[in-house]
Amino acid sequence: MIRILIVLLGFWCLISCKPVSIANKVNSFIGTGGYVQAYPGDSVSYDSIRNKPAIYPFGGLTYPGAVVPFGMVHLSPDCNTQGFDWSADYHYCGDDRGGLSNNRSDPDMIDQISTFPLSTECYCDFNQTAAEKAGFDPMEIFFKGMAYRMMWKIYWDIKKDKLELETSNPLAYKLLKVFNLTTDYMYNREILADEKGVIYQLRKTSVLWAFEDFEYQKEGLKSVTDILNNSSLNLNVSGFNASKLTIYQIADV
């Protein structure tokens, strides 16, 4: 009799338990968190990489979707335009997604760029006349496009062995040069309050693209350089007045 009661009690416990979906306990983006900050000579272990900025060199090597065996080709979204593994969306990138392409199933994806069709939102024409007719300053639009890593089909008014247009705009050409100089730092983007600018950070160096005149404050002493005009500001400052349409490199002291 006791055995029967035990069996019945066990059966009742089983049917009364709330069903649990194992899938709900799985993080579908596990492995896509980017990289661990590491420097030459660092002793890297699982304990040493916890809670560190997502930069380099481990992590982000898992595509969070239907996959194929290693080395085979699959269609996947493409993530921004800089850095290691960017063209396969192995690192979840939020709003920086640029399009879709056929990618090989491993993290070394840049050699697959020949199959990369950009989406219209990412790859667009710069139309100076249309901007002026709409009441916007073309330089502000071009500056913001560079700051947000937009890929213009035509760089505005740039000669110097680039494109032959009717006029030459020295500032637009300087912006392109600065963009190329700072592209390695353009990770971990933060859009400042009221969209006064955007700032990117890599290790101990930041690059600020200022959209407005404002006072920028940052904890700790910093060395600030106006890289657009190639001039140094006051060194060892915790804050400074950023000027509109200017690009700054900010380094820890």
At which of 166, 184, 202 does a domain end? 184
Q: Is residue 43 part of a domain?
A: no
Closest to 68 (Cα-Cα) out of 84, 87, 88, 85: 88
Percentage of the chain with pLDDT > 90? Answer: 4
Where is pLDDT greater, at 72 or 153? 72
User: pLDDT per residue over 36-66, tens digit each?
Assistant: 443 334 444 433 333 433 333 334 444 545 5
Residues 179 and 143 in one domain: yes
Which has the minimum average pLDDT: 47-61, 92-106, 129-143, 152-166? 47-61
Residue 183 pLDDT exceeds 70 = yes
Is 179 found in the same domain as 233?
A: no
pLDDT above 50 for 237? yes
The token pair that represents 25 in the structure block: 């306990």
In the predicted model, is pLDDT for residue 110 greater than 50?
no
Residue 83 tokens, joined:
């850095």
Q: For the chain, where are the E strands, in sequence order?
A: 73-79, 97-104, 123-124, 151-152, 190-191, 197-202, 205-210, 214-226, 231-232, 237-242, 246-252
**In the chain, how many domains are there?**
3
Asked if residue 53 is part of any domain, the answer here is: no
Residue 207 and residue 242 in contact, taking contact as beta carbons nearer than 8 Å:
no
> Residue 160 has what pLDDT?
41
Please tell me whether residues 198 and 178 are part of one structural domain.
no
166 and 178 housed in the same domain: yes
pLDDT-derived band of residue 240, with 50, 70 and 90 as boundaries?
confident
Q: Are 189 and 159 members of one domain? A: no
Q: What's the CA gap between 126 and 173, in Å, rounded?
A: 14
Query: Can you tell me the mean pLDDT for 84-94?
Result: 47
Please report the pLDDT score of residue 9 as a whole number: 66
- Do 84 and 127 fall into the same domain? no
In a domain, 202, yes or no: yes
Q: Does residue 130 lie in a domain region?
A: yes
Domain final residue, candidates 119, 137, 172: 119
Longest dimension (CA), the chain: 99
pLDDT of 119 above 90: no
The answer to the question of residue 49 being in a domain is no
Average pLDDT taken over every residue of the chain: 64
Neighbouring residues of 35: CB distance < 8 A, sequence distance ≥ 6? 54, 55, 56, 57, 58, 59, 60, 84, 91
Among 134, 153, 184, residue at a domain's last position: 184
Which comes out higher in pLDDT, residue 245 or 232? 245
How many other CB atoms are there within 10 angstroms of residue 90's CB atom?
24
Amino acid 213: pLDDT: 93
139 and 195 part of one domain: no
Answer whether 151's CB lies under 8 Å from 183's CB. no
For tokens 């390695």, the residue is 184
Residue 100 lies in a domain: yes
Strand partners, 229: none
- CA neighbor of 229 nearest in space, from 212, 215, 213, 243: 243
Compute the average pLDDT of residues 193-205: 86
In a domain, 221, yes or no: yes
Which has more pLDDT, 94 or 54? 94
Tell me, yes or no, whether 242 lies in a domain: yes
Domain that holds residue 239: 185-252
* CATH number, domain containing residue 220: 2.60.40.1180
Same domain (yes/no): 179, 195: no
